[in-house]
Chains A and B, each alone.
Chain A
């Protein structure tokens, strides 16, 4: 933000001329803008016009009472800090004023120091109030934008299906065309299902599932299972799958489902964003207490300008030339969340025209074959066998 700094403004409302005069002098000397008014009606007009940061008001005045001024000032702006001056300081009136929203009270007679102290405290309160209000507004805006975005993501496939059905109802078309459209509707519904599934996974990861469930998982086995499951899909895309990992060699502690989701995402991406005749290679090794897995494809590569955003929620490469591929924009975001929750890292290396490698590093768990008394899947069984 730029522009000259405007000093805070204080409005004093008191029927006592001496108070108005002395308060005005003290406040001006403090470097504040000060305006005073002799009764509640004029005071409120002044507040409405000046929008001050703070109001100092006498409780006992002819005309509109100080107590009423208090509530009317807060109708103008609830963030204005109000200090009441009272000549008959009893706990009762002070409490009543505070209940009506006053920040503090100043019993008459008061010294310039007392006024300065209370004004400074009040202005600090005003500053903090405005700041938290700003944070709240920002948070509300973020939430609103997020909700709108999610609604848009969910509606897009739904709208496509709805529009197809609408037009099908309106027009007499050939059965062939209707068939084609029904197939498209099913595809879009599947897209919607995937989006919801991804959302639930994300909620599960964010809910701390990774921390709750930490069992020993054989990553080699997990990856081999996934590669086997996608054999057919890959063949249809004319992409070959190569496993550079073996069973019982890579162990980590974590949630089995989340780990499956992580490598499922990386492997399906490597297939989807590949080219006919291409290859997906998954390699694994243990180094310096970490399991390092690389998922490499031979696709078009990811332009450098997009790489910083690759793991962002809903980020998808928006190139005019980008292959139109179905996807929720959540896969890599979820993958990153899973990896971070496990205390690991994920990064991408990419070469235009040659492909990309996603590297996942996770803290290694002990190999059960090495067998040094850590809990694992088989642990309970071993115990019951009374080792």
Chain B
């Protein structure tokens, strides 16, 4: 069964480009245009990996999603689901968001800048999905 990837981003063009890319590499892609919808879809569709944009112009933005996934009981079963944070900000996230609790959630290999470097992104995604499977088994 192909792996399901949930893409949470408020820019429909960015989603369209990444969706085509992932589908052509054999993934199933789910889209959400806000953090709110994204969280709902996590519960509903149980994705194998999640990509979330940090700065979205919606009420629940990237950090809200990350925080919920890490700390809220409802999402406890998704704590091992690979989560990638994406942003068009070039600096490392701990420089841009000097909030210790939040930064802890971001692993350097899970922080990606836009536009996505395609080979690097596909490599990290594949690796993360493989590792997550290892944890479950």
Taking Cβ atoms with an 8 Å cutoff, the residues of A that contact B are 148, 151-152, 155-156, 159-164, 166-167, 170-171, 173, 177, 181, 184, 188, 316, 318-320, 324
Number of A-B contacts (CB under 8 A): 65
| A167 and B88 form a contact (CB under 8 A) | no
CA distance in complex: A151, B118 (Å): 23
| B59 and A171 form a contact (CB under 8 A) | no
Given the interface pairs A177-B20, A320-B34, A320-B36, the reply to whether A152 lies near B55 with Cβ below 8 Å is: yes
Nearest-neighbour CB distance to chain A for B46, whole angstroms, equals 22
CA distance in complex: A162, B37 (Å): 26
Interface residues on B, range: 20 to 34
| B14 and A159 form a contact (CB under 8 A) | yes
| B13 and A188 form a contact (CB under 8 A) | yes
| B12 and A162 form a contact (CB under 8 A) | no
| B57 and A160 form a contact (CB under 8 A) | no
State which of B55, B57, B116 has its C-beta within 8 Å of the C-beta of A316.
B57
| B20 and A171 form a contact (CB under 8 A) | yes
| A163 and B88 form a contact (CB under 8 A) | no
B17 at the interface (CB under 8 A from A): yes
| A159 and B114 form a contact (CB under 8 A) | yes
Nearest-neighbour CB distance to chain A for B85, whole angstroms, equals 15
CA distance in complex: A164, B118 (Å): 11
- Summarize A's interface: helix, strand, loop or mixed: helix
| A159 and B118 form a contact (CB under 8 A) | no
| B88 and A184 form a contact (CB under 8 A) | no
The 10 closest A-B pairs by CB, nearest first: A160-B13, A163-B115, A162-B115, A155-B88, A163-B17, A159-B114, A167-B17, A167-B21, A164-B17, A159-B88
CA distance in complex: A173, B24 (Å): 10
| A170 and B88 form a contact (CB under 8 A) | no
Residues on B with C-beta less than 8 A from A148 are: 89, 96
Nearest-neighbour CB distance to chain A for B58, whole angstroms, equals 6
Contact code string B9-47 (vs A, CB < 8 Å = 1, else 0): 001111011101100100000000110110000000000
| B58 and A320 form a contact (CB under 8 A) | yes
State which of B13, B24, B55 has its C-beta within 8 Å of the C-beta of A171.
B24
| A170 and B13 form a contact (CB under 8 A) | no
Given the interface pairs A188-B13, A320-B36, the reply to whether A167 lies near B20 with Cβ below 8 Å is: yes
Task: Provide a sorted-by-A list of 23 A–B residue pairs whose CB atoms are within 8 angstroms.
Answer: A151-B89, A152-B88, A155-B114, A156-B88, A159-B88, A160-B14, A161-B13, A162-B115, A163-B13, A163-B17, A164-B16, A167-B17, A167-B18, A167-B20, A170-B118, A171-B20, A171-B21, A171-B24, A181-B16, A184-B13, A318-B57, A320-B36, A324-B33
